[in-house]
Amino acid sequence: MLESEKLEKGIQDCVMEMIKKREDKVVSGEADSFGTDFLGLLVNAYHDLDDKNRVSLEDLVGECKTIYYAGRENVNSLLAWIVLHLAIHGDWQEKARREVIDIFGNQNPHLEGIAKLKIMTMIINETLRLYGPSHGLPRTVAREGQLGKFILPADIDILCLNIGLHRDPHLWGDDVHLFKPERFAEGIAKVTNYTAAAFFPFGLGPRSCVGMTLSTIETKIALSMILQRYTITISPTYVHSPIPIITLQPQHGIQIILEPLH
């Protein structure tokens, strides 16, 4: 607990230092706004004169943590599980590589081409279904309410495990535990029969992950660059042991063999 509190304070101090730099520039006249990037918009909302629009300092820091996890921790975890699946399923690895080379050739990925990566999108969605970085949806009950036949008192924390829905055979079929990206060939709405709660790797509702698009684009860029350069096979030393540590991670890492294409 002491170590955890120390880390928490360290993160809080880092975010507060960034916020103070923005505020100091405005106060000194060096800048006429807090900025138009994500942090600038949050700091601007923190200083909003309207109570209804103002965000608390706690929420500001929380959103900064979220975008950090989305841009780094979530992408690291997601890429690891995708690479594992492609190492095992060579046919899908080749399909994804052909798509990447058809769109980008040997050039670096660009935004216009990223939007055309249909096969890669299917692979990413299927990996998110089986091994999504966010394994649950934590929520705090603000006031007493009823969930089905259960009465939830105020001020308790609940964790909705999305893996329970992502691996529900009633929603996905008897092959629910198999890696089959073709499920998503016609999009998420079609495969889930327009049931929003059947697939929510980035959360659900008005508080769904603000970094969803960022993390997806980062994943596609990194994966495209890997597939342009290497073939991937699984190492015989790999031991499968997923474990939740903030995100769902491979406990012993993922050992793979990379061989240059050229």
Residues annotated in a binding site for heme = 209
Burial of 6: CB neighbours in 10 Å, binned 0-12, 13-18, 19+: exposed
Token duo for residue 164: 């329970």
CB 133 within 8 A of CB 74: yes
- Exposure letters 67-105 (e unless 16+ CB within 10 A, then b): bebbeebbbbbbbbbbbbbbbebeebbebbbebbeebbe
Q: State in Å, rounded, how far the first CA of the chain is from the last one.
A: 50
- Exposure letters 123-136 (e unless 16+ CB within 10 A, then b): bbbbbbbbbbbbbb
Annotated binding site: 209
Distance of alpha carbon 149 from alpha carbon 157, whole angstroms? 18
CB 210 within 8 A of CB 202: no
CA atoms within 13 A on the CB side of 22: 18
